[in-house]
Structure 1
């Protein structure tokens, strides 16, 4: 096999990062950059564009079957959500809680190994943050790739839910069953004369201007007219939300709607601006002519998930496309923290992530021109690509660490 290697080198990563983010809100960007200074893994999360800029065009990683990929796959882009009750014909799965990939902002049709190489790199970087031995990090990458391979080879498509989850994922799903909508509402809103209003804390939730309020309310109202119960989506309040890492600096709104009634049966909507995938400049495979970027994200999510999240839709605000989804009580992610779980529990979690990745790739197979399931099964029978992924991940970790040091030096006075 061709040896995939790249020379790690010092460069002005800060200049590249500034250029990529030049169109985003400057004030919010400062918060993003301060967050990225935490460690090399968080820096990696915020620089997906550098990963694909650096991926060699001649690499054998580009020869794998083309699937619908997440694009920005890393260990903290997995989480729980309640599926859309209309998303699957079987009543067995209606409104169940699932564990899966929770962010498709960068999704495109690309070689499946692009997802795998980025996830493997994230495992090695998070292993450093978790103070694991180098051999333990390498072993976790093997666990992930073996789970991905065996799931592909079986060729079966199924959701990860409370019936088949293991370890910390099973514990998380079980704990979420007890969460109530009122608890989520209490987190983001305050009661004023038995009516809820979004609570502005000036840290994660900020006030909006009257003009922004009008634009968002109008967009939600226009979309609601196409829904069965438009009164459900009557806007009660709007706030500006800061969340995530890579997407910081883009517009994101928190919208409180009437739902099934005030005060404890109101619903919260997350309305997030979408821009073109940072993978787009590096993808040579023809992509569908999506109506807009929010439609791309929504449609890819529908293609690859067994049951997409509830209320997944798109709206247009001031000629920009936004992805709309329900903010759910059952929505959560597993944040990896040093000492938070045993090595055995960590292996089960990483194995589940490998399983989820394979099921996601299989579920989207054969749709809109990507590889069919049989192609993926045959791919799983030849394991040479596993070592290529491992080799590249180990090389790229060193590049991330070099770029991270450059970034920290350049931003020390922010």
Structure 2
């Protein structure tokens, strides 16, 4: 693969325009395209639709065992290393912290092999990103000093991909033996595991934890004032609404939440693939908030404009369920894939668009590639540990797509036993192509100036 041709360049421009409304070749430079051009890992995150265009055209080919319809279930659709994390189940109201998929914007009914391949590709690109930070090829908002740090390499990424598929298959085999094991969750880690410290951080951010008021999703976004809780003044993140819009949003979405709406802002520049989609944050809670215990009853509800899941345009007939409106489909898939879904999880039609309504978790600890692929010692071990946890968590989410039998689990366990190496080869090739595609996007966004 790994080609840069006029036809490939036109495909990239066309697919980005189809989702984002304009080509990156034009005079308008969107924050999304600039983010994607920063490095190949970011490019993969923002170009899920291109991944499915390549699957449809045959530019990306998976082993036949992963294309078999027995492998159909509820899938993430945009599966990569940054779309997993630690969170409190049931949104802000729960207190059980688990590690699981945390992004369902592109969830739909599809082939599990799509998620597996996309995740493995992201491992190679995360390793490339870390190496690029060390060698000053890529910039990082998270890392300012690289002294003493070591980065993962492509060999580490391949070992992690094998560990990911092995742990995925192991979880499926457990479910085959005991179907009730679908109700398990990834919630414990060895002391030297990369996720052990992340879990400690999550516990401190949960309601009752010592960092709840400052580091939880609620505490970082909201401050307690004499007039009551309100969103912090963070112009790079939140935009205040005019009175008419504030009133309209409150009237529309108050029936979907469980308490009073205390404040509303427009959330700016969130995500990568959905960075150009409107989203509002509603601060919901009791009318009187005087103590920390009262504050813990508050939570943030995200109202986000939703578009068609990335796989559906190129695979419209894989399941009739995918004909549901985009927000409804996301809600249904999230409810299936999560063990205990968010307490607030709904959808609405407003302003001629579909909107996803969901509570944000008090505890939400995600790991960026910098956290996973850079370390003072043995970054490859860290990446492998993380990949294994993702494999187990993804298997549990996929297995909940059909509770009637273990046919899916049996098929996928056999497919991995037979074709794991071939799948990893395809994923590595696609990662190489994404590196070339990112360079292509850079030339579109930053064309050479003719003297």
- TM-score category by the smaller chain? 0.7 to 0.9
Cα deviation code 1:344-365 (max 9, x no counterpart):
2221111010111111111212
Deviations 1:281-327 (A, max 9, x none): 22231222665321110110111111123322223332322222222
CA RMSD, 1 decimal: 2.9
Residue equivalent to 1:62: 67
Equivalents in 1 of 2:22, 2:264: separation in Å? Answer: 24
**Alpha-carbon separation, structure 2, partners of 1:194 and 1:116:** 49
Q: Counterpart of 1:364? A: 401
**2:221 alignment partner in structure 1:** 188
| Aligned 1:225-244 pairs, distance under 5 A | 230=258, 232=259, 234-242=260-268, 243-244=270-271
- Match in the other structure for 1:77: 83
Q: 1:86 to 1:267 in 2, by over 3 A?
A: closer
SS in 2 for 1:110: strand
Quick one: which of 147, 162, 165 aligns to 1:142?
162
User: Which structure shows the higher helix fraction?
Assistant: 2
Question: Which of the residues 318, 325, 329 maps onto 2:351?
Answer: 318
Distance 1:195-1:379 versus aligned 2 partners, 3 A rule: closer
CA distance in 1, matches of 2:76, 2:185: 17
Equivalences for 1:8-407 in 2 at 5 Å?
A: 8-10=3-5, 11-12=8-9, 13-22=12-21, 30-56=30-56, 59=61, 60=64, 61-63=66-68, 65-84=71-90, 95-131=95-131, 132-155=152-175, 156-163=181-188, 167-179=193-205, 180=207, 181-183=212-214, 184=216, 185-224=218-257, 230=258, 232=259, 234-242=260-268, 243-259=270-286, 261-262=288-289, 264=292, 265=295, 266-283=298-315, 284-288=317-321, 292-337=325-370, 338-340=373-375, 342-366=379-403, 372-382=405-415, 383-407=417-441
Deviation of 1:203 after TM superposition, in Å, equals 1.2
| Inter-partner Cα distance in structure 2 for 1:250 and 1:277 | 13
Tell me the alpha carbon deviations over residues 9-43 of structure 1, each in whole angstroms, 9 at most, x when there is no partner: 4322234313321079x999722222222210011
Please tell me whether the aligned partners of residues 96 and 161 of structure 1 are also in contact (alpha carbons under 8 angstroms). no
User: 1:412 & 1:57 partners in 2: Cα distance?
Assistant: 28
Q: 1:379 to 1:195 in 2, by over 3 A?
A: closer
Q: Deviations over 1:243-284 (max 9, x none)?
A: 111011111111112247425513221211111112112223
Counterpart Cα distance in 1 of 2:47 and 2:350: 27
TM-score, normalised with respect to structure 2: 0.79
Aligned counterpart, 1:90: none
Asked if structure 1 preserves the Cα contact closer than 8 Å seen for 2:337 and 2:401, the reply is yes
> 1:3 maps to which residue?
none
Number of equivalent positions: 391
| Residue 163 of structure 1: how far off its partner (Å) | 4.0
* Deviation per residue, 1:223-249 (Å, 9 max, x gap): 24xxxxx5x2x2121111131110111
TM-score with structure 1 setting the length: 0.86
- Asked if 2 retains the 8 angstrom alpha-carbon contact of 1:153 and 1:380, the reply is yes
Cα deviations by residue, 1:318-344 (Å, 9 ceiling, x for unpaired)? 232222222232112111215247322
In the alignment, structure 1 segments of 5+ residues that lack a partner are 1-5, 88-93, 225-229
